[in-house]
């Protein structure tokens, strides 16, 4: 029963990996497949592998995938251009053939009734697995320890970047900033914080300069590249919208400077 619920979900999610544009969506679909696989392991009397599948695959490996996706750029999506002409059609054809071959061949085989793991799991699945792992497969187990430490060192060596120039100290940084100021007129101080002179202090709200224009330097350039920066006039619309929802007539509110009716209502509020 569990199988017939999970199998369509898994196949649909796996097919989704083929068709989604963004790598993040593929990672999430892969998480669906892996969690469903863990449940199938539990059904197949493998409680240890059920836990390992969730902890190692969905917990560690997929998190690593998402972490690398964050570093590479979440928005990086596949190009649609084919480098080799007809590659996709041929790959789909080959895949269909392979799938048909495997499924037809497997349906020809009669596996008979399953023996079941009741006797093999006697005394606990983990204990029995440990018995086998540390007797018959002990050399393979030791070899995996060598593999793991090699992988860890290899990843560190690959991810490490040697510093080519000496690190810039505080004095050198200050000197460079002052030189920039003298030569190009670039402001030596820190960048303005978002929303300081605006109505909101959210990060996507640019700070307002004394002359009322928005300062582009105050907003993160990632937000600017995505185009999610809010403009100062639009913020005033937001306030009007909220007041409308609260049932307050926007023209009656006294704090809004620049409204013609503002001085008249102020006196009423004072009373």
Partner 1 sequence: MTQYVVLSAILFTIGCVGVLTRRNAIVVFMCVELMLNACNLAFVAFAKQHGNLDGQVAAFFVMVVAAAEVVVGLAIIMTIFRTRRSASVDDASLLKY
Site for partner 1, residues 118 to 147, rule: CB under 8 A: 119-121, 125, 128-129, 132-133, 137, 140, 144, 147
Burial category of 178 from C-beta neighbours within 10 Å (exposed 0-12, middle 13-18, buried 19 and up): exposed
Among 76, 5, 12, CA closest to 43: 5
Binding span for partner 1 by CB under 8 A among 26-34, 190-198, 246-254, 258-266 = 26-34
When asked if residue 204 is in the footprint of partner 1 (CB under 8 A), the reply is: no
Binding span for partner 1 by CB under 8 A among 4-12, 234-242, 244-252, 256-264 = 4-12
Task: Pick the binder of partner 1 from 15, 178, 191, 209 (CB under 8 A).
Answer: 15
Question: Which residues, other chains included, contact 256 with Cβ-Cβ below 8 Å and sequence gap of 6+?
Answer: 239, 250, 262
Count of helices and strands (H, E) across the chain:
11, 2
Task: Work out how close the CB of 174 gets to partner 1 at its nearest, in angstroms, rounded to a whole number.
Answer: 30
Binding span for partner 1 by CB under 8 A among 54-62, 185-193, 219-227, 253-261 = 54-62
Tell me whether strands 214-215 and 207-208 are parallel, antiparallel or unpaired: antiparallel
When asked if residue 76 is in the footprint of partner 1 (CB under 8 A), the reply is: yes
When asked if residue 111 is in the footprint of partner 1 (CB under 8 A), the reply is: yes
Task: Pick the binder of partner 1 from 98, 173, 202, 264 (CB under 8 A).
Answer: 98
Positive or negative CA dihedral for 8, 9, 11, 15? positive
């Amino acid at each position: 029963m569990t199988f017939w619920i999970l199998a369509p979900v898994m196949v649909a999610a796996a097919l989704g990996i083929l068709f989604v544009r963004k790598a993040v969506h593929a990672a999430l679909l892969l998480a669906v497949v892996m969690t469903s696989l863990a449940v199938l392991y539990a059904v197949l009397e493998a409680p240890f592998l059920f836990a390992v599948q969730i902890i190692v695959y969905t917990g560690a490996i997929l998190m690593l995938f998402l972490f690398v996706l964050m570093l590479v750029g979440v928005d990086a999506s596949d190009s649609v251009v084919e480098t080799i002409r007809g590659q996709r059609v041929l790959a789909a054809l080959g895949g269909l053939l392979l799938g048909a071959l495997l499924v037809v061949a497997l349906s020809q085989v009669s596996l008979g009734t399953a023996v079941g793991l009741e006797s093999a799991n006697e005394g606990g699945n983990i204990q029995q697995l440990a018995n086998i792992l540390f007797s018959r497969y002990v050399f393979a187990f030791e070899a995996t320890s060598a593999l793991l430490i090699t992988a860890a060192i290899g990843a560190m060596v690959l991810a490490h970047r040697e510093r080519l120039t000496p690190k810039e100290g505080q004095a050198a940084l200050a000197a460079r900033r002052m030189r920039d100021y003298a030569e190009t007129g670039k402001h030596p101080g820190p960048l303005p914080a978002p929303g300081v002179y605006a109505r909101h202090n959210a990060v996507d709200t640019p700070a307002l300069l004394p002359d009322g224009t928005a300062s582009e330097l105050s907003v993160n350039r990632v937000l600017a590249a995505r185009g999610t920066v809010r403009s100062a006039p639009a913020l005033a619309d937001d306030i009007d919208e909220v007041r409308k929802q609260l049932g307050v007539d926007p023209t009656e509110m006294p704090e809004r400077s620049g409204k013609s009716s503002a001085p008249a209502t102020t006196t009423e509020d004072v009373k």
